[in-house]
Structure 1
Amino acid sequence: MRLAVPRWTGTLAVKAATFITVMCCALAALLGVLVHVSVTNQTVGQARDLALSRLQDATEAYEAGDALLPGAAVDPEGLPTPLRTLALAGDRGTMVSSHRGRPTMWAAGPAEDHHALAVEVDYSQQSGTIAGLDKSILGSSALAIGATVLVGAFAVTRVTRRLHGTARVARRITAGDLDARVDDPRTKDPTRPQDEVAVVAAALDTMASSLQSKLLSEQRFTADVAHELRTPLTGLHAAAELLPPGRPTELVRDRVAALRTLTEDLLEISRLDTGREKLEVDTEELGALARRVVRASGTDTEVRIVRDARVETDRRRLERVLGNLVANAHKHGGPPVVLTVDGPVVTVRDHGGGYPEYLVAHGPQRFRTEGGAKGHGLGLTIALGQAEVLGAALAFANAVDGGAVATLRLPWAEGR
């Protein structure tokens, strides 16, 4: 079973703060241990030297038959068993233990008749010193870690804030706002150090400017070509109408009509690319509009109304979207073609070979073909662009049992 990990744990700020905290704790622990060991060894060494010195004096007094000094005794009560065993074996040693409720440093050595001579030194002061040192180490470490984490978090947050700003601009550019720029102050002042975030921001701004320039150039080219073609096509259309009846004349008129349709499509795409289309919103009955579109298409398309809906939309643009979807289904798909209205969702499905994989994955692309197959022209591109103007979502998929499915989701009308 996989555990769900919160999204915030993946942020750079959290990772950096965690790393700084772990490193600070490790460094504080290492320094604390070193100081504790050093001071403890020094303190214990001094107490051991004092205890051994008193043991030497007590041994001399005991051997001379003099009275033992205070704190010295033969086989005293409370002498640790390991130290007693060591003394009885003929060796000297020291040991810290608790005696009468307080820390005591013991020193013991052999005495006559298989006895142990021992002295005790009060170790309370040294033990208190070590305990106070440990508390000071913990307190200072906590303060140092807190201050370091705050400073580190502040520094990391400044970097991540700039990264988030760069990411927001990148998303705006992806959504079509080619005027979006990061405008990092560091990139405008060459005297300031250029860190990695500034380099990324400058690269993104340069890329956006280059992309905007190329797209504007393509848009102007498309619009200019379409406008320039309208005049000769008007002349060709007039000349074709003067030709005598016959099969050649029908072919000429058909090709001229196709060229005029292509020119109008190019002009429509150029207008959509500029993003200056104006909506004429009204409330429409979706079922009635769908039937009207099918009648105008002159195709054998079945209309199914599962659940009718009233939507606020631009009727002309919506008719254009549905008309292009129906025309594409008949031109590139297979019968039967079914248009279904289910609330604010309209689907157009055929039973042909389905959409190409690139179209399902990346959406329609102008005049693209693969493997010698016939391309989808501009109809789906226009349908997608008009759907975006309407604020609707248009998705393309393939049915499990075969055929292409285009799904248009429209916003409900207010007060439905």
Structure 2
Amino acid sequence: MGLRSKLGLIFLAVSSFAILVLSIAVYNHASAARLDRTRSIADDKIKYAAEIFNQTGLPTLGTRLDDPDVPGELRQAVEDGKRATYKTDSPQSELWAAQGVDDGQILSIVEPYEASDDSMDALRQALVVGGIGTVGLVALVSVVAAGSLSRRIVAVAGTARRIAAGDLDASAVAAVGQGKDEVASLATALDTMASSLRGQLDAERRFTADVAHDLRTPVTGLLTAAELLPPSRPSELVRDRAKVLRRLVEDLLEIARFDSGMEKADLENVGLGAFVDSAVARLCMQHALAPGSVKVHRIGPDEVVVTDPRRVERILANLVVNGLRHGEPPIELTVTGRTIEVVDHGNGYPAELLLEGPRRFRSGMAERGVGHGLGLTIAAGHAKVLGGRLIFGTATTGGASARLELPERTDIES
């Protein structure tokens, strides 16, 4: 149940209870006032009848002398020298009035007393109709008020989702409008948080780019110097670590270019199936991969797509290398239309990666090996530049699955 429905039900329940209590109070007060008027009339009547009896010795106005049916409480009050009235309970309610007269006798009068009459019926009907109408009006107003509040909260939630998706320029205050209530305060706090987060991310991006640029020249010199070392086991280790450091710097520079938002795709017409075959062949040659460690399957006819082949090849290379490093061969690539799926036979991606996507400098679970967590981040960055989607999941075999979906484009002529 949404907030609008909950608030509407709360307002309706509270207003209905308040109207019910008020109606009962009004009806009870009217009943008590009617009883008081009836008692006053009966009291005046018995007083006047007693005066006539004392003068004439005859009961008048429907009074009786020493009626044996006089209630005990009323009889006791008269014996104590009081003039009193008394109402008996249902099912046969009666209103008695009595007073002592000369010679110690009791003069009394009794009349039936109905709890309701035409005036009380009219009052009850008016209270019911008015209560129902008021409840309906309150329900309408509460739905409108709750709807306005709900829409503003939904607008804040939508802005929060946009910020979480990377749109740090989204404004919650612009979405909900100006105001001084709690929702406006929440929107202002969300905008303040987004502004602070934007500043931190900008600082992080500048730091990454600056570090990568500053390291590039000394790392290149280090690698050149390592190549000049005489052949030996220590020299091989130095050259290997220098190459790893160079790849890390190149990856950081590539991420910095993504962060700058200046990357553009160089589009070409590409036969996707044939291109994947050639890209995998080049990858196997560059990395000296064992035969059969990477397999390509084509389903359906080869489709020509408008895309940037260099970026597609970079994505496939990162996915295949990640699968070989952290999963188990063979790595299987399946080309279907505009979609390429890369599957390994390892333990699959960690749960947080499937939930949040790849994060830089986080490689996931220990059983998937070690690393800087940049390969999948770079692959996702290239997919974004291409306008496609890179979806991470779990294969039916239990291994890791990454599916690249290329968009339909007509940017260039065939």
Q: What is the TM-score when the length of structure 1 is the normalising length?
A: 0.71
Output one character per residue of 1:145-165: Cα deviation in whole Å (capped at 9) or x when no partner: 445445545554454343233
User: What is the 5 A alignment of 1:47-58?
Assistant: none
Q: Once the 2 structures are TM-superposed, how far is the Cα of residue 322 of structure 1 from its aligned partner? A: 1.4
Q: Which amino acid letter does the alignment assign opposite residue 40 of structure 1?
A: S
2:172 match: secondary structure:
coil
Q: CA deviation at 1:327?
A: 1.4
The answer to whether the Cα contact below 8 Å between 1:341 and 1:347 also exists between their aligned partners in 2 is yes
Does residue 26 of structure 1 match 2:17?
A: yes
- Matching of residue 130 in structure 1 with residue 120 in structure 2: yes
User: Does 1:278 find its partner at 2:264?
Assistant: yes
User: How many residues of Structure 1 are paired with residues of Structure 2 in the alignment?
Assistant: 370
1:349 corresponding residue in structure 2: 343
Query: Does the aligned pair in 1 maintain the 2:383–2:390 contact within 8 Å?
Result: yes
Does 2:378 match 1:388?
Answer: no
Partner of 1:171: 161
**Corresponding residue of 1:220:** 206
Cα distance in 2, alignment partners of residues 184 and 303 from structure 1: 50
**In the alignment, what sits opposite 2:76?**
none
Match for 1:390: what amino acid?
A: L
Question: Residue in 1 aligned with 2:399?
Answer: 403
1:260 corresponds, among 243, 246, 255, to: 246
The 3 A distance-change label for structure 1 pair 91 and 155 is same
Q: 2:296 is matched by which residue type in structure 1?
A: V
AA at the equivalent of 2:128: L
Does residue 1:10 correspond to 2:6, yes or no? no
The answer to whether the Cα contact below 8 Å between 1:285 and 1:308 also exists between their aligned partners in 2 is no
How do 1:125-274 residues align onto structure 2 when only pairs under 5 Å count? Answer: 127-183=117-173, 195-239=181-225, 253-274=239-260
Q: Quick one: percent identity of the two aligned structures?
A: 41
Alpha-carbon deviations, 1:318-364, whole Å to 9, x = none? 22111110111122222222111234432222223433444344333
- The CA deviation at 1:265 is 1.1
Q: Which amino acid aligns with 1:404?
A: A
Question: For residues 37-116 of structure 1, what are the structure 2 equivalents within 5 Å?
Answer: 37-43=28-34, 46=37, 90=69
With over 3 angstroms needed to count, the CA separation of the structure-2 counterparts of 1:187 and 1:96, relative to structure 1, is closer
- Structure-2 separation of matches of 1:145 and 1:206: 41
- Residue of structure 1 equivalent to 2:299: 306
Matches of 2:136 and 2:395, distance apart in 1: 58
Distance 1:234 1:179, change over 3 A: same
Contact 2:176 2:187 in 1 (8 A): no
Q: 1:356 to 1:375 in 2, by over 3 A?
A: farther
String of CA shifts for 1:67-120, please: whole Å, max 9, x gaps. x99xx8xxxxxxxxxxxxxxx9845898999xxxxxxx98899xxxxxxx9978
Residue of structure 2 equivalent to 1:294: 280
> Quick one: structure 1 residues 137 and 309, their matched pair in 2 at CA, closer, same or farther if it must change by over 3 Å?
farther
SS of aligned partner of 1:367: coil
How far did residue 39 of structure 1 move? 1.3
1:14–1:385 distance in 2 versus 1, CA, 3 Å = same
Work out the CA distance in 2 between the residues paired with 1:313 and 1:21: 58
Distance, in Å, in 2 between the alignment partners of 1:119 and 1:242 is 127
Q: C-alpha separation between the residues in 2 aligned to 1:186 and 1:246?
A: 68
2:159–2:171 contact (8 Å) kept in structure 1: yes
Residue of 311, 334, 337 corresponding to 1:317: 311
**How far does residue 176 in structure 1 lie from its aligned partner after superposition?**
0.5
Q: 1:53 to 1:90 in 2, by over 3 A?
A: farther
Separation in 1, partners of 2:47, 2:69: 14
Q: Which amino acid aligns with 1:347?
A: E
CA distance in structure 2 between the partners assigned to 1:246 and 1:236 by the alignment: 17
CA gap of 1:272–1:16, structure 2 versus 1, over 3 A, is same
Q: How many angstroms apart in 2 are the aligned matches of 1:206 and 1:119?
A: 78
- Length-normalised TM-score, structure 2: 0.71
Secondary structure of 1:177 counterpart:
coil
User: Matches of 2:268 and 2:169 in 1, distance apart?
Assistant: 31
Matches of 1:367 and 1:202 in 2, distance apart? Answer: 32
Q: Give 1:100's aligned residue.
A: none
Aligned AA (1:228): D
Instruction: Measure, in 1, the Cα distance between the counterparts of 2:219 and 2:264.
Output: 28
Structure 2 unaligned regions, length at least 5:
72-85, 98-108
Q: Structure 2: which amino acid aligns with 1:409?
A: E
Residue type of the partner of 1:207?
M
Equivalent residue for 2:357?
A: 363
2:152 maps to amino acid: R
The letter of the residue matching 2:10 is F
Stretch deviating more after TM superposition (173-182 or 230-239): 230-239
Equivalent residue of 2:168, what SS? coil
Higher mean alpha-carbon deviation, 161-170 vs 27-36, is at 161-170
Distance 1:365 1:184, change over 3 A: closer
Is contact 2:155-2:176 (8 Å) kept?
no
Which blocks of at least 5 consecutive residues in structure 1 are unaligned?
A: 1-8, 73-87, 98-104, 110-116
Establish whether residue 374 from structure 1 lines up as the match of residue 370 from structure 2.
yes
- Residue 324 and residue 308 in structure 1: after superposition, are their counterparts in 2 closer, same or farther (change >3 A)? farther
